Amino acid sequence: MPPVPGGEVAPLPIDAVLGGAGETTLVVDVGAAASGARTVTVTSDDVPQKARLLPVVSPELTVSMVVDASAEGADALPGWLSAGARFSLAAPARTRSVVITDRRPAAVIAGPVRGPSGVVRALGTVSAGGERDTEAALTLATRQFPGATAGRRVVLLYTTAAGIAGLSAPRLADRFRAAGILLVVVGTTDPDRYWSSAAAATGGFFAPAEEPAVVSALDQVETTLSGRCLVRFATPARLPARIVVRVTAGGLVLSGETTLGQPVPEAGVRRYRLLGGAVAVLLVLPLILVVLRRRRSRRRPVAPDTPYAVLLGGPALPAVRAPLESGSLPGSDPDPEPARSSGPDSASLSGVARSSGPDSASPSGAARSSDPDSASPPGPEGVDSEAGARSAAAGRSPDPRAAGTMRPLAHGRAAVPDSTSDG
């Protein structure tokens, strides 16, 4: 960073990036700059942006105070109550606050109230007991003051817990950043830097306290939080964007930079890859099942005369031809059933044309004659009838002389007696 004429350049810590509706809020630490008038300039990819510099501790500040009131943290509770009351008294007079007890079930015991009186009165009623439920208490705290803009809400946690089981520090920080809230933790222990990493990622911090004295932690909270400022500007239309921030205070210039819309961290990349793989499997699995079913259907024997044979890959249905005018298919065998006599003096044989008259009958499959008098004469009584019956029973045509003159039928069928009689 080039030096400013007559001034000194120092690094500007950018502690967190808080999202908003079309706006970006950076939490910066200007504690190194002298108190008094401060100005800010912001460039996005070397293009100047209109920006505002706002202190966190202001009349617009909202505070959700979470106090560990569990039986396990009973020894530290008097110090937490004293620390909460002192912070409320030192905050701006119009600060809005709520008090939440960290024990099962977590509950709001005061607020929202303006000024310190309601907070001090509520803290005086808290006693230790029950099990700790820090996650539920912090979740309840993030739901307070929903109308406040990003960076205007602070959650102040007093606790003896070393962390939250089952909830990682990055995930906890993500929840607070998404809500635009700073997390400040005053605790007696932080062996794995759980609270330090979670709070710092939101623009807040961890203040270690020693039991039972917490004065040093209280001083740190007031001093460090007073040095936090918000740099607010319109979110660039094109991301990622390189953001450079300069804060000038007297003869000192604080300069820092960050990148908006930078790639997701590797842990997040792996998570999205696993999610994408699961979605791909769910999309491809139905297609695989369809292919397997089709293959199994082709292997199954399918009757060739069913309508499903063609649909499932089987042999085609046999061709169906239109029936002949005579009512039977070409090449079919004559009805082997012997002719039945419809009367004492007349008989019709298999393959002989039917008479349309009331006294004549023929088996199924024989052509009808249009002349009612075309039945063949019986011949000599008793002789020709018996000969015709014996011939029909043996599957042979009767003697033409007994059945009348024969004429061929179309399509190669058996001969049919002529409609005219011999005698």
Q: Which helix (H) or strand (E) holds 83?
A: helix 77-90
Q: What's the chain's Rg over C-alpha atoms?
A: 51
Question: What's the pLDDT tens digit per position in 218-250?
Answer: 888 999 999 999 999 999 999 999 999 999 987
- Of 260-274, 310-324, 390-404, which range is least confident? 390-404
**Within this chain, do residues 212 and 343 fall inside the same structural domain, yes or no?**
no
**Within this chain, do residues 74 and 218 fall inside the same structural domain, yes or no?**
yes
Residue 111 dihedral angles phi and psi, to the nearest 5°: 110, 175
Asked if residue 314 belongs to a domain, the reply is no
Candidates 350, 349, 317; CA nearest to 333 is 350
Q: Does residue 20 or residue 66 have the better pLDDT? A: 66
Candidates 206, 258, 255; CA nearest to 18 is 258
Asked if residue 273 belongs to a domain, the reply is no
Domain boundary among 210, 226, 242: 226
Residue 48 has pLDDT above 70, yes or no: yes
Residue 89's domain comprises 62-226
Q: Which residue has the tokens 């000024």?
A: 115
Position 346 confidence tier, pLDDT thresholds 50, 70, 90: very low
Domain boundary among 179, 201, 226: 226
Tokens matching residue 345? 């003096």
**Cα distance between residue 82 and residue 84, in whole Å:** 6
Q: Which helix (H) or strand (E) holds 223?
A: helix 215-226
Summary mean pLDDT of the chain = 76
End-to-end CA distance of the chain: 137
pLDDT at 307: 54
pLDDT at 281: 63
Residue 403 has pLDDT above 50, yes or no: no
**Cα distance between residue 201 and residue 187, in whole Å:** 17
Residue 332 has pLDDT above 50, yes or no: no
Question: What's the pLDDT tens digit per position in 172-205?
Answer: 999 999 999 999 999 999 999 999 999 999 999 9
Asked if residue 152 belongs to a domain, the reply is yes
Residue 142 has pLDDT above 80, yes or no: yes
Q: How many independent structural domains does the chain possess? A: 2
We report the CATH number of the domain holding residue 146 as: 3.40.50.410
Asked if residue 240 belongs to a domain, the reply is no
Asked if residue 284 belongs to a domain, the reply is no
- Of 28-42, 151-165, 205-219, 358-372, which range is least confident? 358-372
Asked if residue 421 belongs to a domain, the reply is yes
**Cα distance between residue 278 and residue 270, in whole Å:** 12
Spatial neighbors of 2 by CB under 8 A, at least 6 apart, are 9
Asked if residue 98 belongs to a domain, the reply is yes
Q: What letters, b where the CB count within 10 A reaches 16 and e where it falls short, cover 103-138?
A: beebebebbebebbebbbebbeebebeeebbbebbb
**Within this chain, do residues 80 and 203 fall inside the same structural domain, yes or no?**
yes
pTM: 0.62
Q: What letters, b where the CB count within 10 A reaches 16 and e where it falls short, cover 206-221?
A: bbbbeeeebeebbebb
**Within this chain, do residues 75 and 216 fall inside the same structural domain, yes or no?**
yes
Residue 217 has pLDDT above 80, yes or no: yes
Domain boundary among 191, 226, 261: 226
Report cis status (omega within 30 of 0) of the bond before 105: yes
**Within this chain, do residues 75 and 220 fall inside the same structural domain, yes or no?**
yes
Spatial neighbors of 327 by CB under 8 A, at least 6 apart, are 365
CA atoms within 13 A on the CB side of 159: 28
Asked if residue 257 belongs to a domain, the reply is no
Tokens matching residue 358? 């009331």
